[in-house]
Amino acid sequence: MSLEELAFLALALVAIATAAAALLVRELVHTILWIAIFFVDLSAIYFLLDAPFLGVLQLGVYAGAVTILLLFGIMTTRKRIFSRESATGIGPVPVALALVTFVFLVSALGELPPSTSTIATYDPTALSENLFGPNGPWLLLLGLIMLAGVAGAIYLVREGRE
Protein backbone atom coordinates (compact mmCIF):
# COMPACT_ATOMS: atom_id res chain seq x y z
CA MET A 1 0.00 0.00 0.00
CA SER A 2 1.49 3.28 -1.06
CA LEU A 3 1.80 6.38 1.08
CA GLU A 4 -1.01 8.17 -0.81
CA GLU A 5 -3.44 5.28 -0.32
CA LEU A 6 -2.61 5.18 3.38
CA ALA A 7 -3.14 8.95 3.66
CA PHE A 8 -6.48 8.73 1.86
CA LEU A 9 -7.63 5.82 4.07
CA ALA A 10 -6.81 7.80 7.22
CA LEU A 11 -8.51 10.95 5.90
CA ALA A 12 -11.63 9.02 4.85
CA LEU A 13 -11.91 7.34 8.26
CA VAL A 14 -11.54 10.70 10.02
CA ALA A 15 -14.18 12.24 7.71
CA ILE A 16 -16.75 9.51 8.42
CA ALA A 17 -15.99 9.48 12.16
CA THR A 18 -16.24 13.25 12.58
CA ALA A 19 -19.43 13.49 10.48
CA ALA A 20 -21.06 10.77 12.59
CA ALA A 21 -19.78 12.32 15.84
CA ALA A 22 -21.17 15.74 14.86
CA LEU A 23 -24.67 14.30 14.59
CA LEU A 24 -24.46 12.00 17.63
CA VAL A 25 -23.05 14.24 20.39
CA ARG A 26 -25.58 15.96 22.64
CA GLU A 27 -24.01 19.40 23.05
CA LEU A 28 -24.43 21.71 20.06
CA VAL A 29 -21.08 23.43 20.59
CA HIS A 30 -19.33 20.04 20.38
CA THR A 31 -21.23 19.45 17.13
CA ILE A 32 -19.71 22.65 15.71
CA LEU A 33 -16.22 21.55 16.77
CA TRP A 34 -16.62 18.14 15.09
CA ILE A 35 -18.02 19.68 11.91
CA ALA A 36 -15.06 22.11 11.78
CA ILE A 37 -12.67 19.13 11.91
CA PHE A 38 -14.77 17.47 9.18
CA PHE A 39 -14.40 20.50 6.87
CA VAL A 40 -10.64 20.76 7.48
CA ASP A 41 -10.34 17.02 6.74
CA LEU A 42 -12.19 17.44 3.42
CA SER A 43 -9.84 20.26 2.44
CA ALA A 44 -6.93 17.87 3.16
CA ILE A 45 -8.55 15.42 0.69
CA TYR A 46 -8.66 18.23 -1.91
CA PHE A 47 -4.96 18.85 -1.36
CA LEU A 48 -4.33 15.09 -1.73
CA LEU A 49 -6.16 15.21 -5.08
CA ASP A 50 -3.86 18.02 -6.27
CA ALA A 51 -6.54 20.72 -6.17
CA PRO A 52 -4.83 23.35 -3.97
CA PHE A 53 -7.15 26.21 -4.93
CA LEU A 54 -10.23 24.21 -3.96
CA GLY A 55 -8.54 23.17 -0.71
CA VAL A 56 -7.92 26.79 0.25
CA LEU A 57 -11.48 27.70 -0.78
CA GLN A 58 -12.87 24.88 1.39
CA LEU A 59 -10.78 26.09 4.35
CA GLY A 60 -11.87 29.70 3.92
CA VAL A 61 -15.54 29.24 3.11
CA TYR A 62 -16.47 26.12 5.07
CA ALA A 63 -13.99 25.78 7.96
CA GLY A 64 -13.97 29.56 8.37
CA ALA A 65 -17.22 31.25 7.38
CA VAL A 66 -19.85 28.48 7.61
CA THR A 67 -18.57 27.22 10.97
CA ILE A 68 -18.60 30.71 12.49
CA LEU A 69 -22.09 31.36 11.05
CA LEU A 70 -23.41 28.16 12.62
CA LEU A 71 -21.77 29.06 15.96
CA PHE A 72 -23.36 32.52 15.72
CA GLY A 73 -26.74 30.88 15.11
CA ILE A 74 -26.35 28.82 18.29
CA MET A 75 -25.18 31.80 20.34
CA THR A 76 -28.16 33.94 19.35
CA THR A 77 -30.83 31.27 19.90
CA ARG A 78 -29.74 30.00 23.34
CA LYS A 79 -29.33 31.59 26.74
CA ARG A 80 -26.44 29.29 27.68
CA ILE A 81 -24.46 27.98 24.72
CA PHE A 82 -23.30 24.91 26.65
CA SER A 83 -26.84 23.65 27.19
CA ARG A 84 -27.56 20.11 26.12
CA GLU A 85 -29.90 19.10 23.37
CA SER A 86 -32.79 16.94 24.49
CA ALA A 87 -32.27 13.33 23.44
CA THR A 88 -33.92 12.32 20.19
CA GLY A 89 -34.70 8.66 19.71
CA ILE A 90 -32.64 6.95 17.04
CA GLY A 91 -35.37 4.79 15.58
CA PRO A 92 -34.75 1.80 13.31
CA VAL A 93 -36.35 3.44 10.25
CA PRO A 94 -33.85 6.33 9.76
CA VAL A 95 -30.90 4.00 10.34
CA ALA A 96 -32.35 1.50 7.84
CA LEU A 97 -32.96 4.23 5.23
CA ALA A 98 -29.42 5.56 5.62
CA LEU A 99 -28.01 2.03 5.30
CA VAL A 100 -30.16 1.29 2.21
CA THR A 101 -28.88 4.50 0.56
CA PHE A 102 -25.28 3.58 1.37
CA VAL A 103 -25.61 -0.01 0.12
CA PHE A 104 -27.39 1.13 -3.06
CA LEU A 105 -24.67 3.67 -3.88
CA VAL A 106 -21.84 1.25 -3.08
CA SER A 107 -23.42 -1.53 -5.15
CA ALA A 108 -23.25 0.81 -8.16
CA LEU A 109 -19.46 1.01 -7.68
CA GLY A 110 -19.12 -2.54 -9.00
CA GLU A 111 -19.55 -1.14 -12.50
CA LEU A 112 -16.30 0.81 -12.25
CA PRO A 113 -12.87 -0.68 -12.96
CA PRO A 114 -11.11 -1.01 -9.58
CA SER A 115 -7.64 -0.26 -11.01
CA THR A 116 -5.65 2.72 -9.83
CA SER A 117 -4.90 5.61 -12.15
CA THR A 118 -2.72 8.70 -12.06
CA ILE A 119 -4.32 11.84 -10.70
CA ALA A 120 -4.56 14.70 -13.19
CA THR A 121 -2.97 17.90 -11.94
CA TYR A 122 -4.05 21.34 -13.05
CA ASP A 123 -2.49 24.76 -12.77
CA PRO A 124 -4.65 27.27 -10.85
CA THR A 125 -4.13 29.61 -13.83
CA ALA A 126 -5.81 27.08 -16.11
CA LEU A 127 -8.65 26.76 -13.58
CA SER A 128 -9.25 30.52 -13.58
CA GLU A 129 -9.16 30.59 -17.40
CA ASN A 130 -11.76 27.79 -17.46
CA LEU A 131 -13.87 29.46 -14.78
CA PHE A 132 -14.02 32.82 -16.56
CA GLY A 133 -14.13 31.27 -20.04
CA PRO A 134 -16.33 28.25 -20.87
CA ASN A 135 -17.90 28.10 -17.39
CA GLY A 136 -18.46 31.85 -17.10
CA PRO A 137 -22.29 31.58 -17.13
CA TRP A 138 -22.16 29.42 -14.00
CA LEU A 139 -20.15 32.09 -12.22
CA LEU A 140 -22.71 34.74 -13.24
CA LEU A 141 -25.51 32.47 -12.00
CA LEU A 142 -23.65 32.08 -8.68
CA GLY A 143 -23.43 35.85 -8.35
CA LEU A 144 -27.15 36.31 -9.02
CA ILE A 145 -28.15 33.54 -6.58
CA MET A 146 -25.88 34.95 -3.85
CA LEU A 147 -27.44 38.40 -4.39
CA ALA A 148 -30.94 36.92 -4.13
CA GLY A 149 -29.88 34.93 -1.06
CA VAL A 150 -28.50 37.99 0.74
CA ALA A 151 -31.62 40.02 -0.10
CA GLY A 152 -33.86 37.18 1.14
CA ALA A 153 -31.85 36.76 4.35
CA ILE A 154 -32.07 40.50 5.12
CA TYR A 155 -35.83 40.43 4.46
CA LEU A 156 -36.26 37.47 6.81
CA VAL A 157 -34.37 38.92 9.78
CA ARG A 158 -35.31 42.62 9.59
CA GLU A 159 -37.11 44.13 12.57
CA GLY A 160 -40.68 45.40 12.63
CA ARG A 161 -42.08 43.06 10.01
CA GLU A 162 -45.84 42.63 10.17
Partner 1 sequence: MTELALTGFLGLSAALVGIGIFGILTRRNFILLLISVEIAMNAAILNFVYFAAFPSGTHGLSGQAITVVLIGFAATEVAVGLAIVLALNRLKGTINVARATELKL
Site for partner 1 in 79-98 (CB under 8 A): 85, 88-91, 93-95, 97-98
Q: How far apart are the first and last CA of the chain?
A: 63
149: contact with partner 1 by CB under 8 A = yes
Q: How far is the CB of 98 from partner 1 (least distance, A)?
A: 4
From the CB of residue 71, how many other CB atoms can be counted at a distance below 10 Å? 18
Compute how many residues bind partner 1; rule: CB under 8 A: 83
Q: Which of residues 34-53 bind partner 1 (CB under 8 A)?
A: 35, 38-39, 42, 45-46, 48-51, 53
Q: Which of residues 100-129 bind partner 1 (CB under 8 A)?
A: 101-102, 105-106, 109, 112, 114-120, 122, 126-127
Q: Is there a contact between 10 and 48 (Cβ–Cβ < 8 Å)? A: no
b/e for 47-63, b at 16 or more Cβ within 10 A?
Answer: beeebeebbeebbeebb
Q: Is there a contact between 32 and 40 (Cβ–Cβ < 8 Å)? A: no
8: contact with partner 1 by CB under 8 A = yes
